[in-house]
């Protein structure tokens, strides 16, 4: 029987095994390196026109509010309206006790009769011109007093509006509170506090959209009517008054509302919201931009949210390749493999 010498074959086998082992390890490393690259999807940054919207909260207020009360307190004789009553300008609302008015009217009538008699006496030289003039002055003072009493005895509405408060009943003595409150609710107004960064952009007549929480998605259109000239040094805001047409009186004073102002358009990038991440422990927002096969940490400033996208005010430039999928858990400088570009 022929016998093979295994020991003579050993060096050759060993060498072949060594080459095979080296080749295998190299392929494994290449495969491992490729598998470590995060596969991502990117989107190229393009600048598009974006409406510059700013939102605020406010409470609806009456355009005009009048407290109906006499100049001096007194007993109420009658009240002709109640809360919720619609009233017209000049409409009689309440009447005060007329005792004092009647007394002053009687005195005025007496003075006028005396004046006629004094005129006859003056003609025949019975009194001086000075005495006649003094009586005439007394009559003028009394007429002013009577007219004032008439105005404060019969109380009328100075505006078209709605009665929103009634504090007394007939027979009560009116003291500190007004008898009635009348408010004009067409139009109404809202007062918002706007950041000083918009100071040069807010102009009289600037359109505004108003929604009241109580009225769902119903939209009311208003215009900026008053811009206050000073800025609060603490909040760094300034008040802006918006007048809102309200022909159907759907908006009511006291309603919570949301106001949107449109300051025109600017060309800014718009990227998917899933590409934007928040820095842990800070209020910073950032994205990853793919550059030369690596993820580059990039801080951004957000503008308005548009459905599932964000406007980017600063931090990106035209042509940047923003990672929009696969960015979670990435670190700055990590190698990535781009699967698709949009």
- 99 with 190, same domain: the answer is no
Largest CA-CA distance found in the chain, in angstroms, rounded: 182
Position 102 in a domain: yes
* Res. 9: pLDDT tops 70: no
Among 4-13, 104-113, 130-139, 213-222, the least confident range:
4-13
47-73 tens-digit pLDDT: 999 888 889 999 999 999 999 998 887
Between 119 and 192, where is the model more confident? 192
Last residue of a domain, one of 233, 264, 295: 264
- 116 with 74, same domain: the answer is yes
- Residue 238's contacts (CB-CB under 8 Å, 6 or more residues apart) are 193, 194, 196, 199, 227, 228, 229, 230, 231, 232
Position 146 in a domain: yes
- 139 with 122, same domain: the answer is yes
Say if residue 138 is exposed, middle or buried (CB neighbours under 10 Å; 0-12, 13-18, 19+).
Answer: middle
The Cα–Cα gap between 60 and 241 comes to 11
Position 152 in a domain: yes
Say if residue 2 is exposed, middle or buried (CB neighbours under 10 Å; 0-12, 13-18, 19+).
Answer: exposed
Position 1 in a domain: no
209-259 tens-digit pLDDT: 999 999 999 999 999 999 999 999 999 999 999 999 999 999 999 999 999
Last residue of a domain, one of 214, 234, 264: 264
- 257 with 288, same domain: the answer is no
What are the two backbone dihedrals, phi and then psi, of residue 148, each rounded to the nearest 5 degrees? -65, -40
On the CB side of 62, CA atoms within 13 Å amount to: 15
* Res. 19: pLDDT tops 70: no
Last residue of a domain, one of 243, 264, 285: 264
Between 21 and 111, where is the model more confident? 111
CATH number at residue 242: 2.40.30.170
Position 335 in a domain: yes
- 42 with 80, same domain: the answer is no
Q: Quote the number of domains for the chain.
A: 3
Give me the mean pLDDT over the 189-198 stretch. Answer: 94
- 231 with 135, same domain: the answer is no
Binned at pLDDT 50, 70 and 90, residue 31 comes out as very low
pLDDT value for 328? 86
* Res. 148: pLDDT tops 80: no
Angle at 89 between CA 83 and CA 95, to 5 degrees: 60
Give me the mean pLDDT over the 91-97 stretch. Answer: 93
Domain range for residue 148? 70-174
* Res. 28: pLDDT tops 60: no
68-92 exposure pattern, b = at least 16 Cβ within 10 A, e = fewer? bbbeeebebeebebeeebebeeeee
pLDDT value for 13? 41
Name the percent of the chain in helix, strand, coil, to the closest 5.
25, 45, 30
Between 22 and 110, where is the model more confident? 110
Position 15 in a domain: no
Binned at pLDDT 50, 70 and 90, residue 124 comes out as confident
Between 29 and 198, where is the model more confident? 198
State the average pLDDT for the chain: 86
Give me the mean pLDDT over the 130-139 stretch. Answer: 87
pLDDT value for 3? 43
Closest CA to 335 of 43, 27, 34, 42: 34
Position 20 in a domain: no
Closest CA to 182 of 71, 94, 91, 65: 65
pLDDT value for 35? 53
């Amino acid at each position: 029987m022929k016998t093979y010498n295994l020991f003579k074959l050993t060096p050759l086998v060993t060498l072949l095994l060594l080459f095979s082992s080296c080749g295998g390890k190299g392929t494994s490393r290449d495969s491992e390196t490729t598998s470590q690259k995060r596969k991502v999807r990117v989107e190229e940054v393009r600048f598009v026109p974006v409406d510059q919207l700013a939102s605020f909260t406010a409470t609806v207020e009456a355009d005009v509010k009048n407290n109906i009360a006499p100049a001096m307190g007194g007993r109420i004789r009658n009240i002709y309206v109640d809360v919720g009553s619609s009233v017209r300008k000049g409409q009689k609302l309440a009447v005060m006790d007329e005792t004092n008015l009647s007394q002053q009217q009687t005195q005025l009538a007496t003075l006028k009769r005396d004046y006629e008699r004094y005129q006859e006496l003056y003609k025949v030289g019975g009194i001086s011109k000075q005495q006649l003039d003094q009586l005439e002055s007394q009559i003028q003072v009394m007429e002013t007093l009577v007219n004032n009493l008439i105005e404060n005895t019969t109380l009328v509405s100075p505006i078209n509006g709605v009665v929103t408060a009634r504090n007394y009943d007939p027979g009560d003595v009116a003291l500190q509170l007004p008898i009635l409150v009348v408010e004009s609710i067409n139009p109404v107004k809202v007062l918002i506090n706007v950041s000083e960064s918009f100071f040069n952009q807010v102009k009289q007549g600037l359109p505004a959209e108003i929604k009241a929480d109580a009225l769902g998605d119903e939209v009311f259109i208003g215009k900026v009517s008053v811009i206050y000239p000073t800025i609060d040094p603490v909040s760094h805001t300034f008040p802006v008054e918006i007048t809102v047409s309200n022909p159907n009186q759907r908006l009511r004073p006291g309603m919570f509302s949301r106001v949107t102002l449109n300051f025109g358009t600017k060309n800014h990038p718009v990227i998917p919201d899933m590409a934007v991440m928040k820095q842990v422990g800070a209020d910073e927002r950032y994205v990853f931009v793919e550059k030369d096969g690596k993820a580059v940490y990039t801080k951004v400033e957000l503008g308005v949210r548009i459905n599932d996208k964000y406007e980017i005010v600063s931090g990106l430039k035209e042509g940047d390749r923003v990672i929009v999928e696969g960015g979670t858990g990435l670190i700055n400088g990590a190698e990535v493999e781009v699967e698709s570009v949009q």
